[in-house]
Structure 1
Amino acid sequence: MKIGLFIPCYIDQFYPKAAVAALELLEKMGLEVYFPKNQTCCGQPMANSGFEHLTTGCNRLFIENFSSFDYIVCPSGSCVMHLKEHLHLSGHDQQAKAIREKLYELTEFLTDILEINELSASFPFKVGLHQSCHGQRGLKLSQMTELVAPAFSKPEKLLAMVKGLELIPLNRKDECCGFGGTFCVTEEAVSVKMGKDRLSDHLRNGAQYITATDLSCLMHLEGILRRQKSSLKIIHIAEILNHQPL
């Protein structure tokens, strides 16, 4: 199984440890993982700002870099969701369609394709799971609490395999953090208030770490935590799933 690892630009620039953890985790599964060095932004920031017509270059580069893989895996639900909905290129419709069908968020790939049922990871801390909106409502990584339907969560299923980890209960487990891409710029006050409310839920329930499938959400929350001088930390789920006992 030949895997193309897509690392979003903000992870590459600000949180490279999460990228390394995703790579190591996939390699531990015995997979042949490649990181195309010419990959770049998926184009989501432009599309979110109303300039999707300027993402043609991003789409062309993505198709050029990732067409040859059996699967494409990415540790970011929002970027995966964007590509699944918006990866199109005139004259390359079949290539774009094939990529959209073999593109997976990391936890989705581990549960749905690899169907793993055990991990060697250890993380002896109290952890709050933030269910990011794109992952939950777009990729269906977990059930929405407002629906009268059987509950499920692919990230929770994986975290339950980590030795020593205590997943804390939350009062509003699938509430938005307020990041929303460019929303946090255009509606800064609303975004910050939503972030503070999301953090208070984790703090109230005793979290030592907050994890998620999207570092964009975690980056937003981390900024608020730093201003509050809080000891609560953020960590991408790949880093927990790959964490080995000392």
Structure 2
Amino acid sequence: MTVQLFIPCFVDQLFPETAFNTVRVLEKAGCTVVYNPQQTCCGQPAYNAGFWDEAKKIGNKFLHDFADDQPIVSPSASCTGMVKNAYNDLFTNTMVHNRCRAIQGNSYELSDFLVNVLKKDYFGAELEGRAVYHDSCSALRECRIKEEPRQLLSRVDGLELVEMRDTDTCCGFGGTFAVKFEAISSAMAEQKVHNALEMEADFIISTDSSCLLHLQGYIDKHQLPIKTMHLADVLAHGWANI
């Protein structure tokens, strides 16, 4: 199967290795991965800030950066959720309405695609330690993803997956929320990290690099004995040439 790779600007600029690991996992699953280097942003920052005209311009570019008849796979539930849901506000009953619907129907977050489309959950990954999974708001509420990442993580050799308290509570990032409401955002990160530490976890794993960046910032500031990892990095751990 040929799949189109959608790498959000956040991953592209800050976590490029997660992008490469996404390619490695998809190729190991038997996919041919194509990447359009002209792709940029899905428009989520502008949309969430209320600048819908600007978001529409960026979104229109997105709709023409990808073919509408092939799967589009991304290591980000947040940006996938933007395309699958918020584009309804921007492009319903416009000239690109039909193209938008086709692309929305072909857009997948990585774990959703692996488990529900390819029907594969084992990639030979190895990671020693105990981990908790953080349900990002976008994955759980916009993409309806909950069991898929857990199924994949349960097949990682050496990894013990445990459930922490309030796993589906927001980490506090929320894009510009972390800037506008710093104190609340930091308190939410503190709660999330300490819930993970309560389970004696070595890792906090999620589908969204933005959540993980926020949590890792709190961890680093307080020098806590835990680290964050993206799901794609976990699935490629132990066999990929990183």
Q: Same fold (TM over 0.5)?
A: yes
Paired residues of 2:23 and 2:33 also in contact (CA < 8 A): yes
Aligned counterpart for 2:141 among listed residues 129, 137, 142: 137
Paired residues of 2:164 and 2:195 also in contact (CA < 8 A): yes
- Measured after TM superposition, the shift of residue 68 of structure 1 is 4.9
Partner of 2:127: 123
Gaps of 5+ in 2: none
Aligned partner letter, 2:110: L
Once superposed, which parts of structure 1, at least 4 consecutive aligned residues long, lie more than 4 Å away?
none
Paired residues of 1:168 and 1:206 also in contact (CA < 8 A): no
- Measured after TM superposition, the shift of residue 168 of structure 1 is 2.4
Partner of 2:46: 46
How many residue pairs get aligned? The number is 236
| Identical pairs, percent | 36
Paired residues of 1:132 and 1:214 also in contact (CA < 8 A): yes
Paired residues of 2:131 and 2:203 also in contact (CA < 8 A): yes
Q: Distance in 1 between matches of 2:65 and 2:188?
A: 37
Q: Secondary structure at the match of 1:230?
A: coil
Partner of 2:115: 111
Aligned counterpart for 1:208 among listed residues 192, 198, 202: 202
Q: Distance in 1 between matches of 2:160 and 2:116?
A: 24
Superposition TM-score, scaled by structure 1 size: 0.92
Deviations 1:23-68 (A, max 9, x none): 1100111111011100001110111111122112211221111125
Partner of 1:63: 63
Does residue 236 (structure 1) correspond to residue 230 (structure 2)? The answer is yes
Q: Which moved more, 1:99-108 or 1:61-70?
A: 61-70
Does residue 222 (structure 1) correspond to residue 216 (structure 2)? The answer is yes
Q: Distance in 1 between matches of 2:53 and 2:137?
A: 24
Q: Secondary structure at the match of 1:10?
A: helix
Deviations 1:157-212 (A, max 9, x none): 11001111111231222121111121111111111101100000001111111110
Q: Distance in 2 between matches of 1:213 and 1:32?
A: 22
Gaps of 5+ in 1: 143-152
Q: Secondary structure at the match of 2:157?
A: coil
Aligned partner letter, 1:113: V
Q: Distance in 2 between matches of 1:100 and 1:245?
A: 33
Q: Distance in 1 between matches of 2:120 and 2:154?
A: 12
Aligned counterpart for 1:98 among listed residues 87, 96, 102: 102
Q: Distance in 2 between matches of 1:125 and 1:21?
A: 20
Partner of 1:178: 172
- Measured after TM superposition, the shift of residue 117 of structure 1 is 4.0
Q: Distance in 2 between matches of 1:245 and 1:5?
A: 21
Q: Secondary structure at the match of 2:112?
A: helix
Give the aligned CA root-mean-square deviation in angstroms: 1.4
Partner of 1:199: 193
Partner of 1:189: 183
Q: Which moved more, 1:95-104 or 1:83-92?
A: 83-92
Paired residues of 1:7 and 1:75 also in contact (CA < 8 A): yes
